[in-house]
Amino acid sequence: MTVSKPGPHCPVNRVGTTTGPWLSVLLVWTGLWLVLGSGVCAASAQAVQPAVDPPTRPSGAPAVVVGAELQERRVWTFDAGSGINVCIDNLFSGARLNGCEQIGTREFRLLVAPEQEPINPSPWYALRIRSSKPCEVTLRLAIATPKARPRAWASRDGRRWAMAPDSQWTGEPGDRECTIKVSVVPDPIFIASNHMIGIEELDAWSTRVGMESGVAVESIGRSTGGRPILAFTLNPQAPPDHVVVIGRQHPPEVSGSVGLMKFIERLQQSDAALADFGRRFRITVIPMVNPDGVHEGQWRCTLGGVDANRDWHAFSQPETRAVRDAILALAAQPGARIHLLLDFHATDRDVLYTPAPGSAVEPAGFVQAWLDGVQARFPRERLESTASHNLDQWTFKRWAAETIRAPGITVEFGSLTPHERIAAKARVFAEVMAEVLAAQVPSREAPKPRVPGRGDVVRPREPTPAKPPADERQPAQVPDRVPATVP
C-alpha cells in the first residue's frame, strides 16, 4: 500500500467548452471509453495552472475565524502500471477530498471527511480524476461518519451530469464505504455526490436574471472568507410589498438551488398569471448565503464552523448577519411590509416546513391557502408538509415568524428528485404564491417618485451599474473562482 506524495505535478486540463454531447457523460459509466479515442498522456496536454484555493489568510489581511476543518488542496499522482499514471485532485471550487491512497494497481481509497463532527449526515465529496491513457479504476470511498447516504455522479464538463448506474456503484444508505467503478481518460472527469451548482454557476445565474430584469446584483456583505453575498430585487418599481427568497445556507443542497432558480425564473415571466403580481410585489433574492461552505465542499457549516440555519438568534456568523441586516433594511423602508420569506434546501425527499403552530404571522391565512393551492395542482401526489419541524432550533423560518411576523417556509427538495420534477413543482409554488398573496394582501399604488421642490439641490442621476464592480464580486485576495468551464 502506498500513499502518494505531492510529487511531480500532474497537469490539469482546462475542459473545452465544446465537450461532447450528453452521451459522453454516460460513457464515463458505461466503460465505452474506447470510442472517445485514446488520448495522449498528460505530458502533451495543454497544462494550465489549477484553480488552487489556498484557504490561508493573505498576508496583511485581517484575521478570520475559521472554525471548520479544511481539506488540503492538492494533486495525488499514482503509477497505475503499464506506463499509466492516474491523477486525482481537489483543486477546484466545491471540491471535497480529504485523502487518497493507492490500495491496488488501479484501486484507490478516497477519504471524505466533514468539516467537523458530529454533523448532519449529508456528506459531500467532489474530485477530479484523469489518466495518461484510458483505463478502468475502482474508487473506494471511505466516509468518515456513519449514516452517510451519498451517490456518485460524473461529468466531463461540470455542467452535464449522470448518476452512476448500479453496475458501477455499490453502497447502501448507512455504509461507510462505497465503491465506484469509473473509466478514466486523459480528459478530466468530475465525480461528485451530486450535480455541482456552485458559486460560479449561481453568480452567473444571478447576473443573467438581473440583466434580463434590468436590476442590479449587489453585494449585501461578505462571508468569513471574504466572498461577497449577492442579492437582487425583482420588480423594484412595485410598492414596498416584499417577498424574500434565500438559498444555500447548507453547502451540499444543490436541489434547493435548482428549486430556487426555477421558482424565480417563473416569477420573472409576465404572462397573465403573473403580471398583476409583478406590478404589486418586490422579490428580493439571496441565492448563496454560504459561499465559503460551498467553495470548501463542506457538509453543513460556514467557514466559521457554524450551521447557518441554527444561527438565527446568536448571529455569530457574518453570513447570517448580512442576510438579517439586508432583510431588516427592507422592512425599514417607508411603508414597507414583508409578506413571505422562503428558504430553499435539500434533504432526502420533497417536504415543506411551515411556521410553528400558533405563530402570529401575517398574512395569517397564507400558508394553508398556499399548501391547498399547490396540492390541488398535484392531485396524484400527497404534498408533504409539517409545522412542527425543528421547533427548538434557531432557524431562518423561526426568525421570520418571530421577528418579521411573516410566514417563513423552508422549502426542501429531495437530493435525488429529478430536476425536471423540481422545476415543475417550483413553478407551481411560484404561481400559487402569486395568486394567494395577490388575493390576501391589499393592493396599493406604487410610490410615486418625488418631484423636486424649491430649495432642493438637483443633481444628475448616477447610472445604475448592471452588475457590481469587479472588485465587489471577488473575495478579498482569496481566489475562489475556477475557470468558466469547470464547476
Q: Determine how many CB atoms are found less than 10 A away from the CB of residue 276.
A: 14
Which 3 state secondary structure label does DSSP give 203?
Answer: helix
CA distance 461 to 459: 6
Q: How far is the CB of 346 from Zn ion (least distance, A)?
A: 6
By C-beta, is 84 or 246 nearer to Zn ion? 246
Output 80 or 192, the one with its CB closest to Zn ion.
192
With CB atoms as reference, the residue minimizing the distance to Zn ion is 345
In order, the DSSP letters of 215-252 are ---EEEEE-TTS-EEEEEEE-TTS-SEEEEEEE-SSTT
Q: How many CB atoms lie within 10 A of CB 261?
A: 23
Binding-site ranges for Zn ion (CB under 5 A): 250, 253, 345
| Closer CB to Zn ion, 301 or 433, in the complex | 301
Nearer to Zn ion, 201 or 307 (CB): 307
Give the CA radius of gyration of the chain.
24
Least Å distance between CB 289 and Zn ion?
11
Q: What dihedral angle (degrees, nearest 10) is formed by the CA atoms of 56, 475, 322, 388?
A: -70
Cell numbers placing 182: 469509473
Closer by beta carbon to Zn ion, 169 or else 263: 263
Sign of the C-alpha dihedral, residues 204, 297, 308, 396? positive
Characterise 147 by phi-psi region: left (phi > 0), alpha (psi -120 to 50), beta (else): left
- Please, which residue, 158 or 251, has the CB nearer to Zn ion? 251
From residue 348, alpha-carbon distances to 121, 235, 309, 311, 415 in Å are: 11, 34, 17, 23, 6
Q: Which is nearer to Zn ion, 241 or 253 (CB)?
A: 253
Residues 6+ apart with CB under 8 A from 289: 229, 246, 247, 248, 249, 308, 319, 320, 323
Residues 6+ apart with CB under 8 A from 77: 4, 7, 8, 10, 85, 86, 87
Tell me the closest approach of the beta carbon of residue 250 to Zn ion, in angstroms: 4
CB of 345 to Zn ion, least distance (A): 3
Compare residues 26 and 351 and give the one whose CB is closer to Zn ion: 351
199 and 480 Cβ atoms separated by less than 8 Å: yes
Asked if omega into 146 is within 30° of 0 (cis), the reply is: no
Burial label for 228, CB within 10 Å (0-12, 13-18, 19+), is buried
**CB 471 to Zn ion: min, Å:** 31
Helix (H, G, I), strand (E, B) or coil at 266: helix
Question: Minimum distance from CB of 344 to Zn ion (Å)?
Answer: 9
Q: Shortest distance, CB of residue 415 to Zn ion, whole angstroms? A: 10
Closest CB to Zn ion among 77 and 320?
320
Which of 280, 345 has the CB closer to Zn ion? 345
Q: Which is nearer to Zn ion, 212 or 348 (CB)?
A: 348
Which are the contacts of 60, defined by CB distance < 8 A and separation ≥ 6? none
Shortest spacing between CB 26 and Zn ion, in angstroms: 30
- DSSP string computed for 417-477: S-HHHHHHHHHHHHHHHHHHHHHHSPP-PPPPPPPP-TTPPP-PPPPPPSS--HHHHS-TT
Alpha-carbon distances of 306 from 97, 118, 464, rounded to whole Å: 20, 12, 36
Q: Which is nearer to Zn ion, 135 or 196 (CB)?
A: 196
CB of 253 to Zn ion, least distance (A): 5
Question: For residue 337, which phi and psi values (nearest 5 degrees)?
Answer: -140, 135
Q: How far is the CB of 417 from Zn ion (least distance, A)?
A: 14
DSSP code, position 403 = I
398574512: which residue's cell? 363
Is the distance from CB of 233 to CB of 278 less than 8 angstroms?
no
Shortest distance in whole angstroms from residue 27 CB to Zn ion: 33
Given the complex with Zn ion, which of 90 and 257 has the nearer CB atom?
A: 257
Shortest Cβ 444–Zn ion spacing (Å):
35
The crossing angle, in degrees rounded to 10, of helices 272-280 and 419-440 is 60
